[in-house]
A and B are shown apart, each in its own frame.
Chain A
Amino acid sequence: MDNKTPAVTMRNITKRFGPILANDKVWLNIYRGEILALLGENGSGKTTLMNMLSGIYFPDEGEIQVDGKEVVIRSPKDAFDLGIGMIHQHFKLVDVLTAAENIVLGLPGRLDLKAASAKIREICDAYGFEVDPNQKIYNMSVSQKQTVEIVKVLYRGADILILDEPTAVLTPQETDKLFAVLRNMRNDGKAIVIITHKMHEVEALSDRVAVLRHGQFIGDMPTKTTNAQEMTNMMVGHPVVLNIDRPEPKNPKPRIEVKGLTVRDIEGTLKLDDVSFTANSGEILGVAGISGCGQKELLEAIAGLQPVEKGSICYIEDDGTREELIGKDPLSIQNMGVSLSFVPEDRLGMGLVGNMDLSDNMMLRSFRRGHSLFTDRKTPHQLAETVVRELEVSTPGVSTPVRRLSGGNVQKVLVGREIASAPRVLLTAYAVRGLDINSSYTIYDLINRQKTDGVAVIYVGEDLDVLLELADRILVLCGGKVSGIVPGRGAKKRDVGLMMTKLGGEQAHE
């Protein structure tokens, strides 16, 4: 394999963002007919490196060769001309345009959508995609959007494909489909780079792995000769224990009881349909489901942020007193002694204010406390410092605006703040979305510590493998209905996956 000419060679690539060194003299080879997994923690510079290949950023130093010839990639167009296409983590699609319009966007020549649609169908047939060229993007599911992105790149004749965390938003079934397509493309002689945090995906899909750490290239090797433990150690730089703890729940008592919960969104679409379950103290209740199946609405309804059509949500004290949460606003839910800590899906949009610094963001939770006219700035400042220290947030200081931090660090700040308010019920959605393996484990630890302290944790997650390892019970949502509640111990990934797509899983479609 090593005596082939690489499709792409990156030598000595260095990129700085202000004082931060994002890539430091990185070397990387990409071969045709091979799937390369690019591994690294958050902020290790994987996406930056690939962005330089796709023309989004321009390297400060170093050179890039394609098929042995040195090239200069100044813009995405240059990259396309060299046959390099990147599928970004945040889809680059225009919502109000159709699939076909998005696919031909930026190409020269006369606009002929009919001819384009025909070519799109051809590509879809060749690799096994399903795309309706005339469907508007805003009507599409996440996985459909991703398919459009891949077709877009292929339409431009790309034979070097880069996928940045493609599976972060897919169900297990959709992921399998994607992998099948990627293998088809590899066998067709295309070079494929996939950026991911999920070890089992690396092992299942890739032929070779390359590891980055703190912007530096650590090494690469054939996937067959390595294992998850070794790769993780290389990423982190020291040995890491790769098991998620699942202590037995101690003395679980019903804490939140939801009965017949029905929620409609502003447009009148049914988001939650007759949902009933109980969350116990000292227990993690995992919530699984395809994105948009009502997870967000469920958490928001409990937190008092979502109007409820019918049903009841009861908070049960240790002594058995029950209090109805519906009809109370978030503030009074807090004031009556019910502490709900909410890590929203969209962490910067709802959880934190990007332009404010760490201490001020801590203060968002506490500014109403105290009796004087002036706010207490000292406590939040100390809290910010504690969070930075304990969760190893990499930041120049607590007075840095949150938007300057990388995604993983933003997440740590948010989770840290929510946990610091000593909740009785902890609601989290996608607490580890986009986090690398090391930070994810830090978060799992934090959540487990809350659980052992007797907090009722409701954990909405997207990685089924983690849910299966972490949660005591798993509530599976499908289209706003409860598809089933299964015990976390001994649950099979395939069964839960099926329950996510069909009510009741296999039993329902006999």
Chain B
Amino acid sequence: MIDLLGFLPRAIVQGVPLLFGSTGETLTEKSGNLNLGIPGIMYVGGISGVIGAFFYEQATVSAGTFQPLPGVLIPLLCSMAGSLLMGLLYCFLTVTLRANQNVSGLALTTFGVGIGNFFGGSLPRIANSSLPSVILTNTGNAFRTTLSGSSSPSALETLFLSYGFLVYLALAVSLAAAYILRRTRVGLHLRAVGENPNTADAAGINVTRYKYLATCIGSMIAGLGGLYFIMDYSGGIWSNDAFGDRGWLAIALVIFTVWKPDLGVLASFLFGGLYILSVRSSSSMTMATKELYKMIPYVVTIVVLIFTSLRNKREDQPPASLGLAYFREER
């Protein structure tokens, strides 16, 4: 039997970027916005954090004044600001100008990946480094500070306490999102906006505001997934395209969890586990087998789609107005 206790933490850290991404996208989709820009937004969230951390390290590390607290807060705020701008851009296009959501989202993804790789390539030049990556070890270590104090942690300690704060934040955010959607008035209104904006509007709900807020907050949450990947998972090292296709996996996860963020906690760890199967035992595997393993999460998503569509339960369907622009006085 494989070493489950050893495997689980690895699946969890692999799943956290997906969890951020899918929670953000679920909130966005609940407002009726199908934001396919999420992969790009996660890149932007990552690179914005990297830019903030880069300049903070430039200013402090050589002088020996690097402090962990601002070292964490600055990248965090930069990352959220970057993803917020992307979210605002998406909303401006699709809500205010009522552009096609699919086209706008795909454009944002291409744009975001480009931005990430552009700055990822230029920052080392500012630092006069010959390396192809941005290396921010100090920031990485600050993000990786764990709760577990002992130097030789037990297996249980590793399972629960061996992560940086962003992992717990991811859990908290998705559980909070699930609670808000299910139990609060804001959640009820948001669901109504995504299901039937006409009705929501007639009930006195500000559809535009809900769409903007849900999409922007969703983008910021998703962007944290990019930040976590760079700062914690990769230890503060940005390499171009290292984030890979995790953004698309996050969108697949939204469908897999049938738009339930709390299900996303377990599902993201499952996807994370499936993902490392492909990355991990690389020595014993040919490239072809690796690519086959990479497919598993997507295959699982397709299977889920087939089952939810076959069962045709109304609660498991995407929000009814997903992907559609809303215009009040249309006749």
Contact = CB atoms under 8 A, between A and B. Distances in A.
B184 A76 contact: no
A97 B185 contact: no
Contact of A105 (B184, B192, B315, B331): B192
Interface stretch (B128-136, B201-209, B296-304): B201-209
A472 to B, nearest CB: 38
A110 interface: yes
B199 A75 contact: no
Interface string B201-240: 1111100000000000000000000000000000000000
Interface string A107-119: 1111100000000
Interface size class of B (residues with CB under 8 A): 20 to 34
B195 A75 contact: no
A284 B160 CA distance: 76
B312 A267 contact: yes
Interface in B140-192: 183-185, 188-189, 191-192
A454 B163 CA distance: 82
Nearest to B331: A17
Chain B binding surface SS class: helix
B3 interface: no
Interface in A89-105: 92-97, 101-102, 104-105
5 smallest beta-carbon distances between A and B, as pairs: A106-B203, A77-B204, A92-B199, A106-B204, A111-B185
Interface of A: 17, 54, 56-57, 75-77, 80, 88, 92-97, 101-102, 104-111, 136, 138, 267, 404
B280 interface: no
A96 B331 contact: no
A96 B195 contact: yes
17 contacts: A17-B329, A56-B328, A57-B329, A75-B204, A92-B203, A94-B192, A96-B315, A97-B191, A102-B199, A105-B189, A105-B192, A106-B189, A106-B192, A106-B200, A107-B185, A108-B185, A111-B185
Contacts of B204: 75-77, 80, 106
B203 A97 contact: no
Nearest to A54: B202
Contacts of B185: 104, 107-111
B167 to A, nearest CB: 30
B320 A92 contact: no
Given A94-B196, A110-B185, A111-B185, A76 B191 contact: no
Contacts of B192: 94, 97, 105-106
Nearest to B194: A94
A95 B196 contact: yes
Given A96-B315, A106-B200, A106-B203, 12 more contacts: A93-B196, A95-B196, A97-B188, A97-B192, A101-B188, A104-B188, A105-B192, A105-B203, A106-B189, A108-B185, A111-B185, A136-B314
A95 B200 contact: no
Contacts of A56: 202, 328
Contacts of A17: 329, 331
Nearest to A112: B185
A44 B185 CA distance: 39
A105 B328 contact: no
A53 to B, nearest CB: 13
B308 interface: no
A111 B188 contact: yes
A94 B189 contact: no
Nearest to A405: B331
B196 A76 contact: no
A213 B331 CA distance: 20
Contacts of B184: 111
A76 B199 CA distance: 11
A58 B317 CA distance: 35
Contact of A76 (B189, B203, B312, B315): B203
A138 B195 CA distance: 13
Contact of A97 (B195, B328, B329): B195
A95 B8 CA distance: 40
Contacts of A77: 204
A105 B199 contact: yes
Contact of A95 (B198, B312, B314, B331): B314
Contact of B201 (A76, A102, A104, A111): A76
B200 A105 contact: yes
Given A92-B203, A94-B191, A105-B203, A111 B314 contact: no
A322 B200 CA distance: 54
Interface in B28-60: none
Contacts of A57: 329
Contact of B195 (A54, A94, A108): A94
A349 to B, nearest CB: 15
A106 to B, nearest CB: 3
A109 B328 CA distance: 25
Contact of B188 (A54, A105, A267, A404): A105
A101 B189 CA distance: 10
Q: Which of B184, B204, B315 has the most CB of A within 10 A?
A: B204
A171 to B, nearest CB: 25
Interface in B301-331: 312, 314-315, 317, 320, 328-329, 331
Contacts of B314: 95-96, 136, 138
A177 B315 CA distance: 32
B193 to A, nearest CB: 9
B259 to A, nearest CB: 11
A94 B202 contact: no
Interface centre among B189, B195, B202, B317 (most CB of A within 10 A): B202
Contacts of A102: 199
A140 to B, nearest CB: 12
Contact of B183 (A76, A88, A105, A111): A111
Contacts of B331: 17, 404
A80 B320 CA distance: 26
A95 B320 contact: yes
Given A106-B203, A106-B204, A267-B312, A92 B195 contact: no
B315 A106 contact: no
A348 to B, nearest CB: 12
B191 to A, nearest CB: 7
Contacts of A101: 188
A267 B313 CA distance: 11
A104 B205 CA distance: 12
Q: Which of A75, A88, A92, A94 has the most CB of B within 10 A?
A: A94
Nearest to B315: A96
A75 B203 CA distance: 9
B302 to A, nearest CB: 21
Contacts of B317: 96
A107 B188 CA distance: 11
Contacts of B191: 94, 96-97
Nearest to A79: B204
A75 B192 CA distance: 17
Residue among A56, A106, A136 with most chain B CB within 10 A: A106
A93 B317 CA distance: 17
Nearest to A110: B185
Contacts of B320: 95-96
A32 B184 CA distance: 37
A16 to B, nearest CB: 11
B98 to A, nearest CB: 16
A416 B185 CA distance: 48
B66 to A, nearest CB: 45
Contacts of B312: 267
